[in-house]
Structure 1
């Protein structure tokens, strides 16, 4: 099946918001966000100053997405990207869609001359860790903290 990977557009808002909501609440078991806040969040990417979101489409249906945030690295003295999300709906996993989304993020990072792309995943998300290792990624030297 043909998969199209492209940036999220305003016409994608209505079908994309329920997927993003499900990702937050069902997949990551986080408190439900206010739907108008979620909509404003997605719309903020349309200006593309803080990041970009990509969607995967099959037969005009959104089956996955990835989010890249733009920030800076003091050590590289350059802008970098952080892939904050990479998600494919369960019944479409194993079809190469995550790889295509990942490659879109990687290509965007290179094309726009960011120094590198980094990302994190949950300790218990072993499926994602196996996926990243298959792509040749290695665990980094840094330990993440939150407060």
Structure 2
């Protein structure tokens, strides 16, 4: 399968939405119109930190997405890329789409002088962890969520 990766653009909303719905469903998170529009507005707002890329197959169909943002790292006094979301449509899995999106994120990070990519994934997402283990190093850090 031939895959093209490119940054998301203003006219990509409806094709992106189908993938974002799949991503939300995968993580059993309800996606409302308001949430989808909010996330999309962040992606297309050049003054917001969230950015995104999409994977397309030979026919031009959207088959994967990545959302990422620059974050400061105070201990290294550098900026890093945080990969918030990586999703590949079910019928496109196993064809290198996730890896291609990760390579795009690496290229983006290099171009923006970011020092590394950080991400988290669900403990039971063993398929994604195979890719992440191949491309990076699993850390000792434990993640917490604290309500406000």
How far the C-alpha of 1:5 sits from its partner, in A, is 0.3
Aligned residue-pair number: 144
Q: Which runs of 5+ in 1 are unaligned?
A: none
Q: Which runs of 5+ in 2 are unaligned?
A: none
- Alignment partners' CA distance in 1, 2:87 and 2:39: 17
- Select the residue among 39, 42, 45 that pairs with 1:41: 39
SS in structure 1 opposite 2:113?
coil
How far the C-alpha of 1:36 sits from its partner, in A, is 3.4
What TM-score does the superposition give when structure 2 sets the normalisation length?
A: 0.90
User: 1:50-61 maps to which residues of 2 (within 5 A)?
Assistant: 50-58=49-57, 59-61=59-61
How far the C-alpha of 1:85 sits from its partner, in A, is 1.0
Following TM superposition, the consecutive aligned residue runs of length 4 or more in structure 1 with deviations greater than 4 angstroms are none
Partner residue, 1:120: 120
SS in structure 2 opposite 1:71?
strand
User: 1:1-147 maps to which residues of 2 (within 5 A)?
Assistant: 1-24=1-24, 26-30=25-29, 32-48=30-46, 49-58=48-57, 59-135=59-135, 137-147=136-146
What TM-score does the superposition give when structure 1 sets the normalisation length?
A: 0.91
Q: Deviations over 1:17-54 (max 9, x none)?
A: 12202211x20011x23213312311222234312111
**Would the aligned equivalents of 2:19 and 2:87 in 1 still touch at CA under 8 Å?**
no
**Would the aligned equivalents of 1:10 and 1:43 in 2 still touch at CA under 8 Å?**
no
**Would the aligned equivalents of 1:10 and 1:46 in 2 still touch at CA under 8 Å?**
yes
